[in-house]
Structure 1
Amino acid sequence: MTQMNVESFNLDHTKVKAPYIRLVGVTEGDKGDKIYKYDIRVKQPNQEHMDMPALHSLEHLMAENSRNHHDRIIDIGPMGCQTGFYLAVLNDDSYENILQVVENTLKDVLNATEVPACNEVQCGFAASHSLEGAQELARELLNKRNEWTEVF
């Protein structure tokens, strides 16, 4: 396989075992700050994917609630393949801490009564949401919490 510029294009998606959370890479800035990028894989690549309304709502819920558990979250965004999310954090090299942040955030999702920013003013596709779908995804992930560290 030819080496690609995008890290995930170099990952053999036929060998991974979802769900998992893995460190994708670390980018160091000119002043020494480091951005840690994680792959939060929810569904098995090329076999399953998240439905868009559930994925979209889980993104909103995780983006909003994760910041209650970590003050250096840069971004949480969905993968185009709809099998997971990328999480970027600043200056936190503790994998265990990130696992705990994700766990706590998913527990928040289970307790949510609405999807944050689910309206036409704050969201670009407000009609495409499912709180119940997001909660089911969170439940599935939490039920397999003991598997998150096993990528292959």
Structure 2
Amino acid sequence: MEKIASFQVDHTTLRPGMYLSRRDGHVVTFDLRFKVPNTGDLLTNAEMHSVEHIIATLLRNSEQKDAVIYFGPMGCQTGFYVLLDNEQLTMEDCIALVQSVFEAGANYTGEMPGKSAVECGNYINLDVDLARTQCRYYADLIRDWTVEQLAY
């Protein structure tokens, strides 16, 4: 069986940041790494879930919403993936979009999007403050990120 792209990345040297994980035609997958792998320092389920709700909502309400394909957490609890259409966005645009939504998430003061039993399968572990804290961390981390830094 062929190894998938993410299993070909050396996780023993990987550090938090924003990386180009793969290209599939016009779809680009970015690794939004929050934590150093295999250290035991992981995002909690509530942190991941809360960031997912805020950032997915911000992405799908951004001016570039038509270029947003997917945003969601990594099973290993060290970050997120975002899939974008690179026929609509340059690499610089992709970085700017991610920077923008995480900055907006860090400053978010509204109600948690999708926080009801009707809208979410585990709404009780959603927390705006947890999301804001993690978004602030990541927004600060990638504030000056460049295309050259997208390489693993």
TM-score normalized by structure 2? 0.85
- Counterpart position of 1:98: 94
Q: What are the equivalent positions in structure 2 for 1:57-76 lying under 5 Å apart?
A: 57-67=50-60, 68-70=62-64, 71-76=66-71
1:24 to 1:123, Cα distance in 2 relative to 1, 3 A = same
Structure 1: gaps (5+ residues) = 29-33
What is the total number of aligned residue pairs between the two structures? 144
State whether structure 2 residue 53 is matched by structure 1 residue 55. Answer: no
- 1:61 and 1:120 mapped to 2: Cα distance? 17
- 1:117 and 1:129 mapped to 2: Cα distance? 9
The two structures, once aligned, show a CA RMSD in angstroms of 1.9
1:36/1:93 contact within 8 Å kept: no
- 1:10 and 1:84 mapped to 2: Cα distance? 17
The Cα offsets for residues 2-55 of structure 1, whole Å up to 9 and x where unpaired, read as x8431111111011111x111111112xxxxx1111111111111221111111
1:147 to 1:72, Cα distance in 2 relative to 1, 3 A = closer
The Cα offsets for residues 38-95 of structure 1, whole Å up to 9 and x where unpaired, read as 1111111112211111110100111110121412101001000111111111224522
2:67/2:89 contact within 8 Å kept: no
Q: Give aligned-pair identity as a percent.
A: 27
- Equivalent in 25, 33, 38 of residue 30 of structure 2: 38
- Counterpart position of 1:89: 84
- Counterpart position of 1:137: 134
1:151 to 1:132, Cα distance in 2 relative to 1, 3 A = farther
- Equivalent in 4, 12, 15 of residue 13 of structure 2: 15
**Quick one: which amino acid aligns to residue 51 of structure 2?**
L
2:73/2:81 contact within 8 Å kept: yes
2:68/2:83 contact within 8 Å kept: yes
SS at match of 2:125: coil
1:56/1:128 contact within 8 Å kept: yes
Q: Which runs of 4+ in 1 moved over 6 A?
A: none
2:106/2:139 contact within 8 Å kept: no
TM-score normalized by structure 1? 0.85
